[in-house]
Chain A
Amino acid sequence: MSLLTPTIRPSVVARLNPVAKLAVALTVSCALLLSIDWVSAGVALLLEAVLLVWSGLSARQFWLRTAPVWIAAPMASITTVLYGEDSGALLWQFGFISVTEGSAQLGLAIGLRVLAIGLPGIVLLATTDPTDLADGLAQVLRLPARFVLGGLAGLRLVGMFIEDWHCLTLARRARGVGDGGGVRGAARRFFGPAFSLLVISVRRGSKLATAMEARGFGSDEPRTWARLSQVRAADAVLVGVGCAISGIAIAVAVWAGTWSFVLA
C-alpha cells in the first residue's frame, strides 16, 4: 500500500462517484467549522461513526490512516483547555495557564470537532482512486481537462519519491556525510536530499510533459474519455446523507443552545 494510492477493496463506498464523496466531506466540514461547540461536533461524530462501518476499510487500514487525527484531537483539546478563552468558574491557575469551565468546554468541543471533520475526510478519500477522482472532476464538474490530467500525472510521479529519498540518504552515507555534524548536519541531511529531489522531479516533470504532448495532450480540441464517470442514485443518496448529518448537527446544537456562530 503506497501512501498515495490506497488499496481499495470493492465496497459500496468505493463504487460511489468521487465527486459525491468530495461534496459530502465539504458539506460536513463547512457546517462544523461555523461554530465551536461540543454538541454539533458530538452529534455529527456520532452519526458519522454509524456510517463508518460501511466504509470499506479494514480495521488495520482505518486506524493507520486516521492515526494523525487521533493524535491531534487530544493535543488540540488540551491546548485549548489550558490557554483558551476563560469564562465561568476558575478551576486551576498557573502562570499563563488558566483552566476554567469555559475553556474546558471549548477544549472538549475542539477535540470532538477535529475528529468529526478529520475522520470522514480521510475515510472517504482513502477509498478513492486518484484516476477516478480526476475523471469525476473533469467529466462531472467540467473542470479543464488539461489541468486535471496534468495534476494527476504529477501525482503519479511522486510515487517514486520514497525510493529516491532512500537512495539519496544512502548516497549521503556513502559520501561521508550520513551522520554527525550536530544540528547543522541534521538540517543539511534534510534540505540537501530535499533539494536534489526537487531538481530530479522538475526534470522528470519536464520530460513527462514532453511525452504527454507527443501523445496529443494539451491542445484545446475536444477529447473523449475512455472511462465514464457517472453520477448515480447512490451518489445522490450519499450527498443527501451528508446534508442530513450537517443539518441535524446544527439543529441539535441550536436547540440545545450551545451554538455559537464563529463569525458573529
Chain B
Amino acid sequence: MHASTTSRHQPVRQSPGVRKPRNFRWRVVDIVVASVIGVASGVIFWAWGLAWSPLSAILAFTPGLEGLLAGGWLFAGVLGGLIIRKPGAALYTEVIAAVVSMLIGTQWGFSTLIWGIVEGLGAEIVLALFFYANWRLGVALLAGAGAGVAVGLLDTTFTSYSALDFAYKAVYFVSAVVSGTVLAGLLSWLAVRGLARTGALSRFAAGREGSRAPSAARS
C-alpha cells in the first residue's frame, strides 16, 4: 500500500485563507453510513462476544488479562468518529453497535447498551477535547484509550471482575486501556486510511484529504 510517484490525479489543496465553514450538522449520508458502520460492528461485536468465553478462559491463567480482549468492543466508536467527523459520531456508532449485538443476543443482555453508551462517551470526549478538528493517528489512539478507560472502569466496578482482588482489577484496567489503544485506535485509523484509498469515502472529508494514491477517476 505505498504511494506511487506517478500520480495522474493531483489532489486538490485548499488555498490558504480560504476555509470552508465547518458544518457540524449531520447530513443523511452521515447518519446512514454511521449506522452501517455501527450495524456491521455490532455483528462483529456479537461474534467477538461468542468467541470471548473460550478466549478468556485461555487467558484466565492470570485473571485480569481478559482486559486485552476488551478492545474488540471499542472500535466502532473510534471508526465512526474518524469517518463522520462530527459531534456525536463516536457515541452514535458505538451505541448502534451495542444495540445490534444486543438484538442478536448476547449473554450480557441489556447491560450491553449501557456499556455501549459509556464506551462511546469515552471516545467522544477525547475527540471533543480536540475540538473535532484533529484527526491524526495520535488522536485516534487516544480516543481508543479513552474508550478503554471507560470500559475498564465499568467492568471492574459492575461486573464479576469487581469480585476479584485489587491486583487483578488493576491488571484488567491496564490491559483494557492497551487493548483500546491498539484494537480500537490503531486498527480503526488504518481501516479509515484503507477505506479512503478505495474511494468509498468520497462524500466525506476523510476521503478527500489529498490522498496521494492515484485513482482511476476520470475528468
Direct A–B touching, Cβ under 8 Å: yes
Of A29, A36, A201, A209, chain B has the most CB atoms within 10 Å of the CB of A209
Q: Are A151 and B31 in contact (CB under 8 A)?
A: yes
B36 touches A79 (CB 8 A): no
Known: A3-B104, A79-B60, A194-B44. A110 touches B163 (CB 8 A): yes
A interface vs B, CB < 8 Å? 3-4, 25-26, 28-30, 33, 36, 65-69, 71-73, 75-76, 79-80, 82-85, 96, 103, 106, 110, 114, 117-122, 125-126, 128, 130, 146-147, 150-155, 157-158, 161, 194-195, 197-199, 201-206, 208-210, 212-213, 217-218, 262-263
Closest to A263 in B: B157
Residues on A with C-beta less than 8 A from B50 are 68
Residues of A within 8 A of B8 (CB): none
Which B residues are in CB contact (< 8 Å) with A30?
Answer: 114
Contact in complex: B157, A218 (CB < 8 Å): no
Q: Choose from B53, B61, B92, B164 the contact partner of A84 (Cβ within 8 Å).
A: B164
Partner of A198, one of B60, B61, B111, B195: B195
Query: By DSSP majority rule, is chain B's interface helix, strand, loop, or mixed?
Result: helix
**Interface hit among B10-18, B95-103, B125-133, B173-181:** B95-103
Contact A80:B36 (CB < 8 A) given known A151-B96, A218-B28: no
Question: Given A161-B43, A198-B195 in contact, is the A65-B105 Cβ separation under 8 Å?
Answer: yes
The CA of A247 and the CA of B86, in the complex, are separated in Å by: 41
Q: Which residues of B sit under 8 angstroms from A73, Cβ to Cβ?
A: 107
Q: Determine how close the nearest CB of chain B comes to the CB of A202; give it in whole angstroms.
A: 4
Within 8 A of A (CB), among B12-36: 26-29, 31-36
Task: Contacts A206-B32, A218-B27 given; indicate if A262 touches B62 (C-beta within 8 A).
Answer: no
User: What distance in Å separates the Cβ of A220 from its nearest Cβ neighbour in chain B?
Assistant: 10
Decide if A36 touches B29 in the complex (CB within 8 Å): no
Is B32's CB under 8 angstroms from A209's CB? yes
